[in-house]
Amino acid sequence: MYPSPKAIKVGPGGGQAFAGTPADVEGLVERVRQARAKVGPDGAVMFDAHSCLPPPLVKQFASYLKSDDLLFLEEAWVPGNIDVMRKVRASVSVPLATGERDRTIWEVREILEAQVIDILQP
C-alpha cells in the first residue's frame, strides 16, 4: 500500500503467492474494501495490477467492484498488447490507467488511438 490520509494504492504484491484461485481474487477484492474503509467514501482507492494478472482474472476481479470502489485500475495487462487492452476495456467498467512503462511517443500514440484507457500515466 502507498497510503496518505485520503488516497491509497493497493495491488497484488506483498510477498504472497498468487495462483489465481477464487480465494486469491476474493483477497484482492478484500484489499480494495479495506482501503475504501480506511479512506472513507470521499477518498481515492487505486489498484495497480503490475501487469501480473491474466485478463480473465482482471475481468473476474473487476466484476466484484462497484463503480465507486476504485479511482482506477492500473497496468491491468502486459504493456503493448493492444488486443488484450481492447478485450479488458470491453469487459470492465472500472476506469483503466496505463502508460508508465511506455517509453516512446509511438507506444503512447497507439494506446490513445485504440481508445482503451481512461487515464494516461506517461
User: What's the grid cell of residue 30?
Assistant: 478484500
CATH 3.20.20.120 fits 2-120, yes or no: yes
Helix locations, the chain, DSSP H: 22-39, 55-63, 82-91, 105-114
Find, among 35, 46, 33, 40, the residue nearest to 73 by Cα. Answer: 46
> What is the spatial distance between Cα 75 and Cα 85, in angstroms, rounded to a whole number?
10
> What is the spatial distance between Cα 47 and Cα 29, in angstroms, rounded to a whole number?
10
Q: What is the pLDDT of residues 29-53, one digit of tens each?
A: 999 999 999 999 999 999 999 888 8
Find, among 103, 104, 44, the residue nearest to 74 by Cα. Answer: 44
Q: What is the pLDDT of residues 92-120, one digit of tens each?
A: 889 999 988 877 888 889 889 999 999 99
